[in-house]
Chains A and B, each alone.
Chain A
Amino acid sequence: MKTFVSFIVKEAKHILRDNRTMLILFGMPIVLMLLFGFAITTDVKNVRTVVVTSSMDYQTNKAIDRLAASEYFSIVATVSTPRDAELLIRNQKADLAVVFAQDFASKSAGIQFIVDGSDPNMAQQWTTYAQQTIVNPQLSIVNLKMLYNPQMRSAYNFVPAIMGMLLMLVCAMMTSISIVREKERGTMEVLLVSPIKPLMIIIAKVIPYLVLAFVILTTILLMGRFVLDVPLQGSIVWIYLLSTIYILLALSLGLLISNIADSQLMALLLSAMVLLVPIVMLSGMMFPIESMPKILQWISAIVPPRYYIEAMRKLMIMGVGIGEVAREVAILSGMTLFLLAVSLAKFKTRLE
């Protein structure tokens, strides 16, 4: 037992003495959280609006005032023909043109929105907001309620996704690199001839990363809660339990990669290509899975972070009980057992 502990201490020292790695391990989560939490939003804000009108009557003025008063729109110009407005949009001086018909005042009808449609989602939202701003809201019979995320903050969506990405990265990539590095430098040989069992060496190697993963998880949760104001609706116990399953899964993946790769560069490339790209692209982190073609949807079914991120969104943000995420938990546990079995079966106690 004493040898085992000293192995863990040795591994922890490896990590702690490498300043650059430490900087990456802790700098990356913080930078990503700040970027995603604050900078990456799809809120409708500061839409540059051009007013197209030939007669400034009372009704038109009132509608323009409503637009100008709202925080969503800022009026940048008033022109007299739609052609001028289109030119402004093409030159990226404006995003939206509101065209008032000549007889707008008399009939109270005839508004045309000309919108820069290059980004379809935003174009759709801009016009909806503009329509709602111009129409007197009291007349509407719709009562909108945004569940779980009343201010529509993007951070709610991204914090669970960042957890899924970073835990996978730290556990799988860092573990595999650290094992392969020992192989590359030849120190693995020294470890394998020591009195401790080969399997124990690997477990001792993994434990500091396990601890590190929990530290990072806690950092993200605390930052999410206190810096980004993302609520933690669900029970903390379940969040940690589910994360433990996921971390184990990532660690066994890292072990598997370290068995395959024989140089640091290959381990780095393997984890970057095989892990990072599918996580970002196919896990539903940024791009919705249901909009993809069927074949990509099938591939995404074997991407573990997909289930973790989905479960975390439900547990953290929606605050549902564990019963509602039973499916995700079952799939993740199954994947963990499978990967753990495979990576242990493939584990080589000898160096060729």
Chain B
Amino acid sequence: MKIKFLIQKEFLQIRRNTFLPRLIVIFPLMMMCVMPWVMNMEVKNILVDVVDNDHSTLSQRLVHRVESSNYFIFSGQKASYQDALQEVETSKADVVMVIPPNYGKDLETGHTPQVLIAANAVNGTKGSIGSAYLSQIVNTEQAYSSPGNNLQPSMFNLQFLYNKHQNYKVYMIPALFAIVLMMMCGFLPTLNIVGEKEAGTIEQINVTPVSKWMFILAKLIPYWIIALFVIVVCLIISWALYGITCQGPVGLVFLLAMLLALFWSSFGLIISNYSETMQQAIFVMWFFVVSMMLLSGLFTPTRSMPDWAYATTYINPMHYFVDGIRTVFVRGGDFRSIAHQVFALTCFATVMGSWAVYSYKKNS
């Protein structure tokens, strides 16, 4: 029954702190209420400049098509490519479309005129998506205008699975679960044991008959409960505020979250065990958090990474979690879909848990 008192002690320590209880409640709320609006990589409001060197009916029609597309903001017609480039340099335009002379005549006679689309590609995503849309418009227009052309854009049919309205929040909310869990269950335990070391209270534990694994378990359980609370709050907010619900079984979300929480809290305790001061512990944790988060596929697809970076995803628990939670939450997968991820996370959590017990030394 010793463990009951140890857990009680942990909760008292958290409650007596003026800052921690507020942080635990407010941080997930803030993250879930504000971040989905910020983490929106949707590309919109692309400014287009058009240079029409042809001035025929067909070229006018193309210009009108661009003007009326609600994807672009038509910023005006320019006299020359140079003028348009000037606009790009001052950020008044993102994409420039140049219609060559004889565009209309070439189309009617079955030649292929070359419409130039130049996009500001400093931001690669914006550049490529903007130019892709614009080329689609040009291709469609050409298919209508030129006789005997067998290249019909209508032969392609597109179906977006799972996220039909291409809503970025659907993609980012599971990622936010991961971030919130990581912050709460990663940083708080990191400060825990090292905090006791700095305050000197660890000495008192070291002279009690409490065994190592019981001490560590008593440290871990409060963070599990915090993780449980956090994930419930996150699920409720995403349903109430954004109308986004879990497509697969909710139980699996909890399973994944608990495994991740176990991993991060054990990992935090390990760092805490090896550190001397809070500052040191925080910086070490910060390093791991940033690299694991960036390499997990939270923001960018892991498959685009170079091979060496992709190889690190095999030992990155965040990657398994992000994959798993998106499969369950967005794609509606069942247990069989994420068995692989659950297995990997269980392994990581077990190894880290044992390591946390092992690395705690009672004699300094």
Contact = CB atoms under 8 A, between A and B. Distances in A.
Contact of A290 (B45, B124, B291): B45
Contacts of A95: 303
B57 to A, nearest CB: 17
Nearest to A145: B118
B113 A141 contact: yes
Interface in A290-347: 290-293, 296, 310, 313-314, 317-318, 320, 324
Interface in B91-106: 91
Contacts of B150: 108
A145 B119 contact: yes
B303 A118 contact: no
Interface stretch (A7-15, A151-159, A218-226, A236-244): A151-159
A47 interface: yes
A115 B127 contact: no
B18 interface: no
Q: How large is the interface on B (under 10, 10 to 19, 20 to 34, 35 or more residues)?
A: 35 or more
Interface stretch (B199-207, B211-219, B262-270, B328-336): B328-336
Contact of B41 (A110, A116, A287): A287
Contacts of A292: 37-38, 40
Contacts of B305: 38-41
Interface string A87-116: 001111001000000000000111111111
B301 interface: yes
Contact of B90 (A115, A268, A324): A324
Contacts of A117: 160-164, 166
B159 A142 contact: no
Most buried by A among B126, B142, B155, B167: B155
Most buried by A among B158, B280, B305: B158
Given A47-B303, A142-B115, A91 B337 contact: yes
Contacts of B117: 142-145
A143 B142 CA distance: 14
B161 A115 contact: yes
Interface string A258-300: 0000001100100000000000011000111011110010000
Contacts, number: 243
Given A145-B117, A152-B127, A291-B40, A39 B294 contact: yes
A123 B132 CA distance: 13
Contacts of B116: 143, 145
Interface stretch (A124-132, A187-195, A249-257): A124-132
B131 A146 contact: yes
Interface string A146-172: 111110111011000000000000000
B41 A324 contact: no
10 contacts: A35-B291, A91-B337, A109-B155, A125-B129, A127-B158, A143-B116, A281-B39, A287-B40, A291-B44, A310-B91
Interface of B: 34-35, 37-45, 85, 88-91, 112-129, 131-132, 135-136, 138-139, 142, 150-152, 154-164, 166-168, 170-171, 278-280, 282-283, 287, 290-291, 294-295, 299-301, 303-306, 309, 323, 326-327, 330-333, 336-337
Interface of A: 20, 24, 27-28, 31-32, 35-36, 38-48, 86, 89-92, 95, 108-125, 127-128, 131, 135, 139-150, 152-154, 156-157, 264-265, 268, 281-282, 286-288, 290-293, 296, 310, 313-314, 317-318, 320, 324
